[in-house]
Structure 1
């Protein structure tokens, strides 16, 4: 079941005619919610008979939630049938680093990596996990398609007057000169800034109770793994809809 329509606003910002864009924020291993979001999008496409539909995913596909492996399977399968853009989140960046560096394992586990290990049937010892052994076990368990997916992620995506990114941007820096570190990790001073960034920044990374829609940015991370809800942003021209799938916990 889908929740009520949360918001529809008109802005000067728009995407080109003939395109409908669907953006999904931080999934964090909530594969069932992602499947519900795809059902919602499919219904919308069938109902509106829109032209070119673009799916944009804002990163943090893994960790914390119950099924990171199935989440990546769903995303990879979806991209075979639908034009899709995958932005890199800080959690994907950490996993890629963990697969090369044993010393980062404790940091990843603190950020929810244990749930990802379990989804790949890699057992985590209760005490003193051996980083090198876990890294080798995960590397072996990770399907080639998943490895290729993780290396193919992009730092950002632009469509019309919208700039899609995982975390946000650094105020005072042109969008074309943003560092990947900020694009994946920043909170402040981005969240409190009222700066006109030149485009509306669509992001996740910082969970909010309801999607946060402002003139200069839109946050669609509603904390799926904790709340049982996942937001889908729909943009047609200058019309913006945000709908949530799932049921609040």
Structure 2
């Protein structure tokens, strides 16, 4: 059972186009036009064109592309800010707001034509949020937190080890690091995730991390998964992602 996966995007529309081009080339080489493409969340923040990323993915799903788009913690923070600019995601430290440069929300608002959000009072920003179309808000809110397909679980951040999938909570699915990252146990499926940026896509045996740091200026990682085997897609073709021991 073949699936494609694209790691954290963070507003980089040109890289999303490049990732889809790599998948198209792999589809042509293996003759598979049906395998889904799963986007692992964090569509927005830090990068220059979150608006364009959302529009591109919306339009693809609307025309019937077999695309799954998961909700990431940055996508949840963006929605929360739109609903109430003074609210804060409960997982964030109390001193870190959505517009803090560490989060990167200012870049997302800039892509909708709302400039200099970090340096302006919320009372000035709130009336401008109508620039974000309701269709974008509704679409983001409708995206799932995980996708299970055969032996593979796709999720933004990971899972709480030892907890049944149906009992997992969204805070973990979108935010978890430990104890997930260092847990060496077989989870019953290969967990394909992003959220924790690393130097390069890495297969740990029980999980596959595809967040290669697009939010910090590095390339997006794109992979093809068949059972529990995975390959990184490159302009030269498939590069095997050989499992390492589970670790950070």
Which of the five TM-score ranges fits, normalised by the shorter chain? 0.7 to 0.9
> Unmatched 5+ residue regions in structure 2?
89-95, 236-248
Which residue in the other structure is 1:103 paired with? 86
Q: Judging changes above 3 Å, is the alpha-carbon distance between structure 1 residues 92 and 238 closer, same or farther for their aligned structure 2 residues? A: closer
Q: Secondary structure at the match of 2:99?
A: helix
Which residue in the other structure is 2:14 paired with? 32
Which residue in the other structure is 1:159 paired with? 149
TM-score, structure 2 normalization: 0.84
- For residues 123 and 182 of structure 1, what CA distance do their matches in structure 2 show? 32
Shift of 1:46: 2.4
Task: Choose from 117, 123, 128 the match for 2:109.
Answer: 117
Which structure has more relative contact order (CA 8 Å, sep 6+)? It is 1
Contact 2:160–2:176 (Cα < 8 Å) also in 1: yes
Which residue in the other structure is 1:85 paired with? 68
- For residues 192 and 82 of structure 2, what CA distance do their matches in structure 1 show? 29
Q: Judging changes above 3 Å, is the alpha-carbon distance between structure 1 residues 244 and 147 closer, same or farther for their aligned structure 2 residues? A: farther
Shift of 1:109: 1.0
Q: Secondary structure at the match of 1:157?
A: strand
Shift of 1:144: 3.2
Contact 2:9–2:43 (Cα < 8 Å) also in 1: yes
Q: Does 1:235 align with 2:222?
A: no
Q: Does 1:179 align with 2:169?
A: yes
- For residues 6 and 117 of structure 2, what CA distance do their matches in structure 1 show? 34
List, as ranges, runs of 4+ consecutive aligned residues in structure 1 with deviation greater than 6 Å: none
Q: Secondary structure at the match of 1:104?
A: coil
Task: Choose from 183, 194, 199 the match for 1:193.
Answer: 183
Q: Secondary structure at the match of 2:98?
A: helix
CA offsets, 1:59-105, max 9 Å, x none? 00000011111111221122224111111100111111111222237
Contact 2:151–2:227 (Cα < 8 Å) also in 1: no
- For residues 48 and 147 of structure 1, what CA distance do their matches in structure 2 show? 36
TM-score, structure 1 normalization: 0.84
Shift of 1:124: 2.3
Cα RMSD of the aligned pairs, angstroms, is 1.8
Which residue in the other structure is 1:11 paired with? none
> Unmatched 5+ residue regions in structure 1?
1-14
- For residues 58 and 118 of structure 2, what CA distance do their matches in structure 1 show? 32
Where in structure 2 are the equivalents of 1:14-33 lying within 5 Å? 15=1, 20-33=2-15
Shift of 1:244: 4.9
